[in-house]
């Protein structure tokens, strides 16, 4: 036979010569040339390359396994290869038999998924080595240096594995080794099996398993072969070390070795480098023009740089098929690639190995298995319902379940079902009942249950076919095929007995299952691949990203158990990943016209990264240094927007971008409007973009009939920020509902107000005047307060649950009783209740105030339109005679008649922090002065006119932060000054606020960011509250006669000035 070995650094050159020789050696019949490729993804590429200059029907492209299977079927009839998952099940059951023993290295707990995976791979390695029986394996170990503590359990496990295979696997299911051996030892000639064959081209094999070697020997005996083996040095050292085995095979078979030089200048330039890598004292190789090393700050910046480069190449007319991105860490970089390449509109196809449970199809099974547990978790239910492949409930119902889970803060599913509608609860209960056989039945019934759920209930196969398109769809379909393969493996071995429950078997089987979608022909797309996918390929330009020690070369972690086995018998060696990585790197380097290597300076979390050792070697040979710095070129519309933002005339730049077509007409118009708005918002004065409306517009969208009567809180919200007020009150934009685990501050405040009102009001029913708490027993008061608080809590219908809600209740009720008398569970640390909660602290504080007045009125209404109130209108009259209508409730009024002059004290309960009184005298807080003005309407006229007035906040912050600061009156020298402030200054301010609203002044806050609570505002990105900017804004707004600017933020006035002017 005429057998030739073509070697050289450039694969395209080797393949070209192989085609020429095959064309001469083979006749013109169909399929006379068989091209065997190790990389199945290359089939269509090889066919296209051959068809460019030869008759396409003469060539047949297959993998070695496909060819062997065909020959095996021709010899022995139809055959089914042993699937990876069935092999894994056999290994799992074999190991379970070993771990059930009382002694031995494997005795103990049931085999984990990782251990089963390791043994499954090792058993496949035995099979590839031609070791088909346990006795043959024992013979291999006999006389070796392998410790008996490793050899004996390994042989026993392999014997159990082979016995299971013989007893339970169909006879037409064969291992890879069995098929290869049957073909290699067949009496029938291969030329009879494939009479059309004249020549075989073998590509992609730089190392052989024993069964592969025997088959190659058989093929060479009967057919002519042309083998392609990329080599860069002598085939035995340096980067070629890993290919030494293959070279020895070809030499032993008397292949004629033909060395081919690179066909182009770039090949020669890169070949000079690969000849010197990993060799002692190499000659310094120059850095080719096509080689570049770029270092970027982060992995994300790496991919953005690559995306900009690709955009440039594509814009210059480069065919996407001539470009490739090779990422050794494909899984780590896949998210960046998808997001960034979509942003930059780069057509691409990605192959990235991932885990089955990271796909939607795999997640369905993962969630179902978790829901089959005795106490299923809520997060697994919400994950299942949110899965786009699952539609057992509609989107609104799924969202409702998720919201309920967050609100209740529950771990288990059971409490969650109380908060969802009956239909959903029924569906979930039915699903959980359906999953119960996975714990209780045998493996056959459990497998049938799981398959019925996926096929009938979820119709998972059809869902994957309808999901998305392209690579995303291919991933989900491959995931479904893997799930089906796992279940089929259990069906095949249903008769095997196991001490483990079906749920435990399923959980182990689906743990750590890897999914890899074969690389598709990527016509018209930039290929994104791993380094293995790039072997035996040629490219014009490649970007090699993420070349760090974390990703390349990666040495898989294997138990020392197997490392010793490899040392004892080289036939079971899996190869040195470092040597293999060097060879793949050199092969890639020699098969590109241009190569750009990128590395990150830091990781995603700003952690330090270490460059790949191959970069150190490349640097040693060539002296190449990385280019660093941020890449700020425009490659996407996002980049364009950043660049426009930095230009002086941004509107002109946007117009130019629109003229060039970089922005669509709609984008140009919208962006120009945005820039115009930004320019106006960037100036200190008021403009059409600063929340200023015409009075006529205000009359239409927010007429007096809607805005009056005002409440004190609404007035304060306007003063805090006119724009936020406009969005909330005028436009009616509601804040998004946050998922809360405890009552909100508003709910807490309302509840505490209701409790304290009833507490005093019920006691007052038993007296004719104010409430004197000292007349009651402390225990009775505590019982009374607790009973009212419990009743009010029940009336609130709060839908909260969990530890945080229990803590919230404890902070209110602690100290009012114990055991079943209080509505919370104290729990254990760190959730122990405080010793004294809010209500008990409040009661003690009230009892200790000996000289204080008696509580007289509670939640006293004033103004018209309030629920459960027949109070008439309440207006505040300005000095010019105009009025402002107001309404509200006074939380509490205490009256003291102990002195010569009665004292009227008003309280405003605050379950948060009480504001400083200077905010009231500074014109930003109005609750207390409005209470005092309204007091004339709710108490006896003589008492208001003759009494001494006082108003303050009553701070009630759970669990026990109580404080009653000095009242508003403390800010004035006399009662006369206080009443002048109330009668003249406050009405004027309220009138200015009413006018400002009526004249459309809804500009952003004039207060500081802290004073306006900007930190919690949903519109904070639209404001500039920096100190120097705020000062300019206040000055400009103050010049507007229609605007209200509190004296608190003005430099030219204070409360004394205002009082004196009055």
DSSP letters along 195-209, please?
Answer: TT--EEEEES-SS--
Flag whether pLDDT at 83 surpasses 80. yes
**Residue 5: both structure tokens together:** 């070995």
- For 602-639, b/e burial (b = at least 16 CB within 10 A) is eeeeeeebebbbbbebbeebbebebeeeebeebbbbeb
Instruction: Please give the full DSSP string across 446-506, using - where no structure is assigned.
Output: HHHHHHHIIIIIS-HHHHHHHSS-HHHHHHHHHHHHHHHHHHHHHHHTTTS--SS-HHHHH
**783 or 638: which leads in pLDDT:** 783
- The answer to whether 599 touches 547, Cβ cutoff 8 Å, is yes
Flag whether pLDDT at 716 surpasses 90. yes
**Sequence-separated (6 or more) residues with CB below 8 Å from residue 21:** 4, 199, 226
The residue whose two tokens read 């460059």 is 611
Flag whether pLDDT at 331 surpasses 90. no
Residue 613 has a pLDDT of 94
**22 or 109: which leads in pLDDT:** 22
CA atoms within 13 A on the CB side of 229: 33
476-502 per-position pLDDT tens digit: 999 999 999 999 999 999 999 999 999
> How many Å apart are CA 144 and CA 268, to the nearest integer?
47
Specify the pTM.
0.71
> How many Å apart are CA 729 and CA 698, to the nearest integer?
12
**Residue 848: both structure tokens together:** 């200790």
Flag whether pLDDT at 113 surpasses 60. yes
- The answer to whether 544 touches 588, Cβ cutoff 8 Å, is yes
Residue 251 has a pLDDT of 95
- The answer to whether 265 touches 301, Cβ cutoff 8 Å, is no
Residue 575 has a pLDDT of 74
Angle between helix 838-847 and helix 803-813 axes, rounded to 10 deg: 10
Which among 769, 938, 768, 939 is positioned nearest to 870, based on CA atoms? 938
pLDDT band at residue 910 under the 50/70/90 scheme: very high
255-309 per-position pLDDT tens digit: 999 999 998 888 999 999 999 999 988 878 999 999 999 999 999 999 999 999 9
Lowest-confidence region among 46-50, 84-88, 164-168, 345-349: 345-349
Averaged pLDDT, 463-469: 88
Instruction: Please give the full DSSP string across 727-776, using - where no structure is assigned.
Output: IIIIS-PPPP----SS--HHHHHHHHHHHHHHHHHHHHTTSSSS--GGGS
pLDDT band at residue 1027 under the 50/70/90 scheme: low
Flag whether pLDDT at 1056 surpasses 80. no
Lowest-confidence region among 12-26, 671-685, 688-702: 671-685
Which among 540, 583, 552 is positioned nearest to 231, based on CA atoms? 583
**Residue 595: both structure tokens together:** 């190569």
Q: From residue 60, how far is each of 14, 25, 33, 128, 201 by CA, in Å?
A: 18, 15, 6, 26, 10
**Residue 68: both structure tokens together:** 């062997």
**Residue 126: both structure tokens together:** 């035995």
Which among 257, 267, 92, 251 is positioned nearest to 168, based on CA atoms? 92
**Sequence-separated (6 or more) residues with CB below 8 Å from residue 754:** 792
Edge-to-edge order in the sheet of strand 903-910: 854-862, 888-896, 903-910, 948-957, 961-963
The SS3 call for residue 693 is: coil
Phi, psi of 258 (to 5 degrees): -120, 120
> How many Å apart are CA 110 and CA 555, to the nearest integer?
27
Averaged pLDDT, 931-950: 90
pLDDT band at residue 108 under the 50/70/90 scheme: confident
Lowest-confidence region among 123-132, 421-430, 462-471, 854-863: 462-471
Flag whether pLDDT at 546 surpasses 90. yes
Residue 941 has a pLDDT of 72
Averaged pLDDT, 430-451: 95
Phi, psi of 263 (to 5 degrees): -90, -10
Residue 636 has a pLDDT of 77
Phi, psi of 424 (to 5 degrees): -65, -45
- Partnered with residue 907 across adjacent β-strands are 892, 952
Q: From residue 90, how far is each of 93, 164, 506, 861 by CA, in Å?
A: 5, 7, 14, 79
Rg of the chain on CA atoms, in Å: 41
Neighbours of 546 (CB within 10 A): 24
Averaged pLDDT, 449-476: 89
CA atoms within 13 A on the CB side of 798: 24
- For 882-905, b/e burial (b = at least 16 CB within 10 A) is ebbbbbbbbbbbbbbeeeeebbbb
Neighbours of 144 (CB within 10 A): 13
- The answer to whether 141 touches 125, Cβ cutoff 8 Å, is no
Q: From residue 286, how far is each of 146, 622, 628, 931 by CA, in Å?
A: 48, 6, 20, 86
Residue 355 has a pLDDT of 82
> How many Å apart are CA 348 and CA 190, to the nearest integer?
42
The SS3 call for residue 906 is: strand
Flag whether pLDDT at 611 surpasses 80. yes
- The answer to whether 93 touches 498, Cβ cutoff 8 Å, is yes
**483 or 640: which leads in pLDDT:** 483
Averaged pLDDT, 452-469: 91
pLDDT band at residue 830 under the 50/70/90 scheme: very low
> How many Å apart are CA 409 and CA 557, to the nearest integer?
39
Query: Dihedral (C-alpha) 27, 28, 31, 34: value to the nearest 10 degrees?
Result: 40
> How many Å apart are CA 379 and CA 382, to the nearest integer?
5
The SS3 call for residue 226 is: strand
Pairing status of strand 354-355 against strand 348-350:
unpaired
Flag whether pLDDT at 702 surpasses 50. yes
> How many Å apart are CA 517 and CA 580, to the nearest integer?
23
First to last CA, the chain: 117
- The answer to whether 1020 touches 887, Cβ cutoff 8 Å, is no
Residue 897 has a pLDDT of 84
pLDDT band at residue 521 under the 50/70/90 scheme: very low
Angle between helix 395-408 and helix 422-435 axes, rounded to 10 deg: 80
- For 679-694, b/e burial (b = at least 16 CB within 10 A) is eeeeeeebeebbbbbe
- The answer to whether 326 touches 348, Cβ cutoff 8 Å, is no
Q: From residue 780, how far is each of 147, 773, 846 by CA, in Å?
A: 81, 11, 14
| pLDDT over 90 percentage in the chain | 61
3-state secondary structure 6-48: EEECCHHHHHHHHHHHHHHHCCCCCCCEEEEECCHHHHHHHHH
Highest-confidence segment of 97-101, 343-347, 564-568, 883-887? 883-887
Phi, psi of 567 (to 5 degrees): -65, -35
164-209 per-position pLDDT tens digit: 999 999 999 999 999 999 999 999 999 999 999 999 999 999 999 9
Averaged pLDDT score across all residues of the chain: 89
Query: Largest alpha-carbon pair distance within the chain?
Result: 129
Flag whether pLDDT at 640 surpasses 90. no
Which among 1026, 944, 1038, 1052 is positioned nearest to 996, based on CA atoms? 1038
Angle subtended at Cα 530 by Cα 528 and Cα 536, rounded to the nearest 5 degrees: 100
Phi, psi of 838 (to 5 degrees): -65, -50
Flag whether pLDDT at 1038 surpasses 50. yes
Which among 546, 653, 645 is positioned nearest to 604, based on CA atoms? 546
Phi, psi of 1018 (to 5 degrees): -70, -15
pLDDT band at residue 144 under the 50/70/90 scheme: confident
> How many Å apart are CA 950 and CA 929, to the nearest integer?
10
């Amino acid at each position: 036979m005429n057998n030739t070995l073509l070697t050289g650094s450039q694969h395209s050159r080797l393949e070209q010569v192989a085609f020429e020789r095959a064309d001469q050696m083979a006749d013109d019949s169909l399929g006379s040339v068989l091209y065997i490729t190790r990389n199945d993804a290359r089939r269509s590429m090889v066919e296209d390359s051959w068809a460019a200059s030869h008759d396409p029907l003469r060539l047949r492209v297959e993998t070695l396994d496909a060819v062997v299977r065909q020959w095996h079927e021709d010899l022995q009839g139809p055959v089914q290869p042993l699937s990876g998952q069935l092999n894994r099940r056999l290994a799992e059951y074999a190991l379970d038999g070993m771990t059930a023993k009382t002694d031995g290295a494997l005795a103990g707990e049931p085999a984990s998924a990782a251990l089963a995976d390791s043994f499954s791979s090792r058993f496949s390695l035995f099979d590839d080595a031609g070791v088909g029986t346990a006795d043959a394996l024992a013979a291999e170990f006999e006389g070796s240096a392998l410790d008996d503590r490793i050899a004996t359990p390994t042989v026993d496990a392999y014997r159990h594995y082979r016995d299971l295979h013989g007893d339970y696997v169909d006879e037409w299911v064969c291992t890879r080794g069995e098929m290869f051996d049957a073909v290699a030892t067949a009496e029938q000639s291969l030329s009879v099996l494939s009479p059309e064959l004249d020549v075989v081209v073998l590509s992609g094999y730089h190392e052989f398993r024993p069964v592969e070697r025997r088959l190659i020997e058989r093929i060479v005996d009967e057919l002519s072969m042309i083998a392609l083996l990329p080599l860069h040095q002598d085939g035995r050292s340096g980067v070629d070390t890993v290919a030494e085995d293959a070279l020895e095979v070809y030499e032993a078979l008397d292949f004629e070795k033909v060395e081919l030089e690179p066909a182009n200048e770039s090949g020669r330039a890169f070949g000079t480098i690969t000849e010197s890598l990993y060799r002692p004292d190499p000659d310094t190789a120059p850095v080719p023009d096509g080689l570049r090393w770029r270092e970027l700050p982060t992995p994300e910046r790496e991919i953005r740089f690559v995306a900009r480069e690709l955009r440039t190449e594509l814009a210059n007319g480069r065919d996407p098929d001539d470009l490739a991105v090779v990422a050794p860490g494909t899984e780590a970089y896949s998210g960046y690639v998808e997001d960034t390449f979509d942003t930059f509109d780069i057509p691409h196809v990605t192959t990235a190995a991932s885990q089955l449970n990271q796909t939607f199809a795999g997640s369905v099974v993962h969630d179902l298995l978790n829901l089959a547990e005795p106490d299923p978790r809520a997060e697994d239910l919400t994950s299942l319902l949110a899965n786009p492949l699952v539609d057992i409930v509609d989107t609104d119902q799924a969202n409702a379940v998720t919201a309920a889970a967050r609100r209740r803060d529950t771990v288990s599913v059971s409490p969650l079902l109380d908060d969802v509608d009956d239909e959903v609860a029924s569906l979930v209960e039915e699903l959980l009942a359906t999953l119960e056989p996975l714990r209780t039945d045998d493996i056959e019934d459990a497998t049938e249950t799981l398959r019925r759920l996926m096929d009938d209930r979820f119709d998972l196969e059809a869902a994957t076919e309808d999901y998305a398109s392209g690579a995303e769809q291919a991933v989900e379909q491959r995931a479904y095929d893997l799930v089906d393969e796992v279940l089929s493996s259990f069906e095949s071995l249903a008769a095997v007995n196991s001490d483990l429950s079906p749920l435990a078997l399923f959980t182990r089987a689906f743990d750590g299952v890897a999914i890899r979608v074969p690389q598709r022909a990527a016509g018209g797309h930039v290929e994104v691949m791993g380094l293995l996918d790039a072997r035996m390929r040629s490219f014009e330009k490649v970007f090699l990203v993420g070349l760090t020690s974390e990703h390349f070369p990666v040495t898989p972690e294997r138990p020392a158990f197997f490392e010793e086995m490899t040392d004892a018998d080289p036939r079971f060696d899996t190869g040195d990943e470092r040597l293999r990585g060097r060879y793949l790197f050199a092969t890639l380097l020699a098969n590109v016209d241009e190569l750009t290597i990128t590395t990150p300076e830091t990781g995603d979390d700003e952690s330090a990264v270490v460059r790949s050792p191959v970069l150190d070697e490349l640097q040693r040979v060539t002296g190449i240094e990385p280019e660093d710095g941020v890449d700020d070129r425009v490659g996407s519309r996002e980049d364009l927007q950043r660049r426009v933002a930095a230009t002086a005339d941004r509107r002109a730049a946007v117009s130019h971008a629109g003229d060039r077509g970089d922005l669509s007409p709609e984008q140009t118009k919208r962006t120009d409007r945005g820039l115009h708005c930004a320019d106006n918002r960037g100036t200190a004065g008021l403009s059409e973009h600063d929340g200023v409306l015409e009075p006529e517009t205000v009359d239409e969208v927010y007429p007096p009939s809607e805005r009056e009567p005002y409440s004190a809180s609404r007035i304060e919200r306007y003063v805090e920020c006119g724009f936020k007020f406009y969005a909330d009150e005028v436009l009616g934009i509601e804040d998004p509902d946050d998922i809360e685990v405890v009552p909100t501050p508003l709910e807490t405040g309302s509840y505490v107000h209701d409790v304290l009102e009833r507490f005093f009001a019920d006691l007052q029913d038993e007296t004719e005047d104010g409430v004197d708490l000292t007349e009651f027993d402390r225990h009775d008061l505590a019982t009374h307060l607790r009973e009212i608080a419990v009743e009010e809590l029940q009336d609130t219908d709060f839908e909260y649950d969990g530890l945080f809600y229990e803590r919230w209740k404890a902070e209110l009720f602690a100290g009012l009783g114990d055991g079943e008398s209080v509505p919370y569970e104290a729990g254990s640390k760190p959730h122990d209740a405080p010793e004294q909660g809010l209500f008990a602290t409040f009661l003690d504080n009230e009892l200790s105030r000996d000289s204080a007045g008696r509580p007289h009125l509670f939640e006293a209404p004033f103004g018209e339109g309030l629920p459960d109130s027949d109070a008439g209108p309440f207006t505040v009259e300005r000095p010019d005679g105009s009025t402002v209508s107001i309404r509200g409730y006074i939380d509490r009024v205490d009256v003291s008649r102990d002195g010569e002059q009665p004292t009227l004290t008003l309280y405003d309960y605050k379950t948060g922090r009480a504001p400083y009184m200077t905010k009231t005298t500074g014109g930003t807080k109005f609750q207390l002065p409005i209470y005092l003005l309204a007091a004339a309407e709710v108490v006896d006229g003589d008492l208001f006119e003759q009494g001494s007035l006082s108003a303050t906040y009553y701070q009630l912050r759970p669990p026990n932060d109580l404080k009653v600061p000095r009242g508003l009156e403390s800010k004035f020298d006399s009662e006369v000054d206080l009443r002048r402030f109330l009668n003249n200054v406050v009405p004027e301010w309220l009138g200015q606020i009413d006018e400002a609203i009526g004249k459309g002044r809804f500009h952003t806050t004039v207060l500081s960011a802290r004073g306006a609570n900007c930190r919690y505002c949903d519109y904070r990105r639209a404001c500039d509250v920096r100190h120097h900017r705020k000062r300019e804004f206040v000055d400009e707004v103050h010049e507007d006669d229609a605007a209200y600017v509190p004296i608190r933020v003005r430099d030219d006035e204070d409360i004394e000035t205002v009082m004196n002017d009055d």
